[in-house]
Structure 1
Amino acid sequence: MKKIIVVFNGINAPWHILRFATNIAKTSDAVVHGIFLMDREIKDPYPNDLALTETDVTRGTVIEEDAILESHNISMFENTCKISGVDCQVEKNVLLEELIEQSRQADLIIADTTPDFQEYSLNDILKDSHCPVCLVSINTPVVEKILFLYNGSASSKFAIEKFNDLFTNWAHLPATLLTINPSEKFENDEFLNNWLPKHFKQLDNVQLHGNEKKELVNFLNKDANNVLVVMGAFGRNIISRFFHHSLSNIILNETKVSLFTTHK
C-alpha cells in the first residue's frame, strides 16, 4: 500500500479516522493524503434573525471563521502525522469530482461512518471511487475482528480478495464468514471451502435465516466494537447499485461497526 486518502469536511475533523489511517500507514510505509473537501456553499446565516442581534454576523465573517478552523485542523493533521512518523500530504478546497479522480492513484480511501457533509453524501464516494473505501466508526479504534458478508456474488468475492491484498497483516485476526439464507450451491463453493480457510486461519462460518436486513443488524449489534465488515460495493447495473446502497446504508445507520467495501 502506497497512498491512503483520508477525507475530511474542512471545519469538522473526526480524528479517529486519522489515527486509523496512521496505524495502517506505519505498517505499510504508505503516505497519508489528507483531503479537506469543499463541502458547503456559505449563505447568509439566519437572515430573518439578523435584525434581532447586536452582533454583525455576515457571510464574510462565517467564511473567515471557517477558514481559521480549517487551518487549525490542517495543522493538527500535519502534527499528528509527524508525531506518528508518517509521511503526509494535504489539499484543501477539494471538490468531490477531484477526490474521485484522485482515487485512481490511491490504494484506499478512509472516511468517517457519520461524516458531517452538507453538500455530499457517503454514497457519492462509495458508488464512484476507483479504489476501496473504508468507513471507520469511532467504535473501531483498532480492528480486532473481521466479518465477511458473503452472498456468492463476484462482488463479494472481489471485496474479500482485495481486503486480503491490502491487509495481509490482519490475516491472523478472528474472522467470521456470514451468509444469510445461503443457497445449496455454497456447499461446493471453491472460494468458501478452499480459498478463505487458506488465507484466514481463525475463520468461523455463520449462517442466518430470515429477513436479510433484520438478521444482519441483529447479528452485528451483538458485538459491534472493533469490528470491520467487508462487503462488495455498488455494481455497474441499477439493480446491483440499489441493493448495495440499501444494505450499506443499513449497516452504517443501524450499527456501530466499520465498513470496508470496493467494486471492480
Structure 2
Amino acid sequence: MKKFLAVFDGYKMSNSTLNYAIQLSKVVNANLVGVFLDEFIYRNYNVVAVMKTNEDYTEKMKEMDAKDQLKRDEAAQHFQKACGKAGISYSIHRDKSIALQELKHESMFADLIIINEYETFTKYKEELPTRFMKDLLSDVQCPVLLVSNKFKPVDKIVLLYDGAPSSLYAIKMFSYLFGNFQDLPVEVFSVNERKANLRLPDNKLMREFIKRHFPKATYNVATGEAEEQILDYLHNHKENELIVLGAYRRSELSRWFKTSMADTLMRKLDTALFVAHNK
C-alpha cells in the first residue's frame, strides 16, 4: 500500500487538497496521511497588535491561542470525517515544530505529497510560487502534487517530455504511483526548437518505454520556444489535466537566472502539477 501525505494549514484548510487527495488515494488504494503543520510559533493573530492594545495581554493571548487550537482541531476532525465517509485508509500527523523542516523530513517516508500551491504557513498571502513552495520543491524527498484552490476531477494526463533525465524521471515516478490511471487519456507533449524536426528526443527508446507504461498514450510534438508552446497548448484545452514534469534540478545559484518550468506553470495555469526531480 502506498503512502500519500495531504498537507494542511489548520487555520485555512484547503478543501481542494483534501478532494484531490481522496480521489487519488482511491485510485491506487493508498493510505492517506493528513499532515497538519501546527508550527508552534505560527499564530493566526497579530501578536504585536495584541500586546499593544491589551494591558493584560498575557491572558488575551491565552484566549486567542485557545481559539487557534480549536480551529486547528476542527480542521483535523474535518479531514477525519471526509476520509471516513470516502472509505479510505487514513491517519493524522500533527507536526508542531518548524513546518518546512517537518514536511521535508516526512517526505523521506512517503510516496507522494499533495499540497495547495498557495500554501505559505504564515498569515500572509504571496505571489506564486510562494517562498515555502520554492524551498520545499528544491529539497523534497518524494514527488509532489501541487493543486490549485479549485478542485477539478482529473480527466486527462499530460506528460511533458524534453529528453532530459529529469522529465523522464518524473514520468517514471508517475507511472509507478498511478498505473491504475489507465482508463484516462494520456498524452506525451514535447517541444523541438528545430522547426523541421517533429520527432521526440530519443524517439524510438521513448516510444518503447511509454508503450510499456501507458500503452494507449498519444503523442504531440510542437516546434518553437518551449515555454510559449507549452502554455499555448495547455491554455487551449478544456480537459482537467494533471500535468507531469521534472523540475528544480538546478543548483540554487542557477535558479536566479532561469525560472523553473514548474514556477511558470504555477503562475499561468489553474491545474494540478505532478513534480518530481532526480538529484
Instruction: Report the TM-score, using the length of structure 1 for normalisation.
Output: 0.85
Q: Indicate if the aligned counterparts of 2:100 and 2:132 stay in contact, CA closer than 8 A.
A: no
Overall identity of the aligned pairs, in % = 27
Structure 2: which 5+ residue stretches go unaligned? 124-130
Partner of 2:42: 41
Partner of 1:163: 174
Q: Indicate if the aligned counterparts of 1:5 and 1:106 stay in contact, CA closer than 8 A.
A: yes
Q: Give the superposition deviation at 1:239.
A: 6.8
Which of 246, 261, 264 is residue 275 of structure 2 equivalent to? 261
Q: Give the superposition deviation at 1:236.
A: 5.5
Q: Which amino acid aligns with 2:178?
A: F
Change (3 A) 1:28 1:204: closer
Change (3 A) 1:57 1:182: farther
RMSD: 2.9
Change (3 A) 1:63 1:122: same
The range that moved more, 220-229 or 143-152, is 220-229
Partner of 1:108: 112
Q: Give the superposition deviation at 1:180.
A: 2.0
CA deviations 1:27-79 (Å, max 9, x no partner) are 4332211111135633426469848xxxx995444332221111111111111
Change (3 A) 1:168 1:101: same
Q: Which amino acid aligns with 2:248?
A: F
Q: Give the superposition deviation at 1:189.
A: 2.8
Equivalent residue runs for 1:89-100 within 5 Å: 89-92=91-94, 93-94=96-97, 95-100=99-104
Change (3 A) 1:115 1:263: same
Q: Indicate if the aligned counterparts of 2:148 and 2:272 stay in contact, CA closer than 8 A.
A: yes
Runs of 4+ in 1 over 6 A off after TM superposition: none
Equivalent residue runs for 1:134-213 within 5 Å: 134-182=145-193, 186=200, 188-213=202-227
- 1:187 and 1:125 map into 2 onto residues whose CA distance is 30
Instruction: Report the TM-score, using the length of structure 2 for normalisation.
Output: 0.81
Structure 1: which 5+ residue stretches go unaligned? none
Q: Give the superposition deviation at 1:210.
A: 3.2
Q: Indicate if the aligned counterparts of 2:145 and 2:273 stay in contact, CA closer than 8 A.
A: yes
- 2:121 and 2:229 map into 1 onto residues whose CA distance is 29
Q: Indicate if the aligned counterparts of 2:8 and 2:37 stay in contact, CA closer than 8 A.
A: yes
Equivalent residue runs for 1:9-158 within 5 Å: 9-38=9-38, 41-42=42-43, 43-44=46-47, 46=49, 50=53, 58-92=60-94, 93-94=96-97, 95-118=99-122, 121-158=132-169
- 1:75 and 1:143 map into 2 onto residues whose CA distance is 26
Q: Which amino acid aligns with 1:28?
A: V
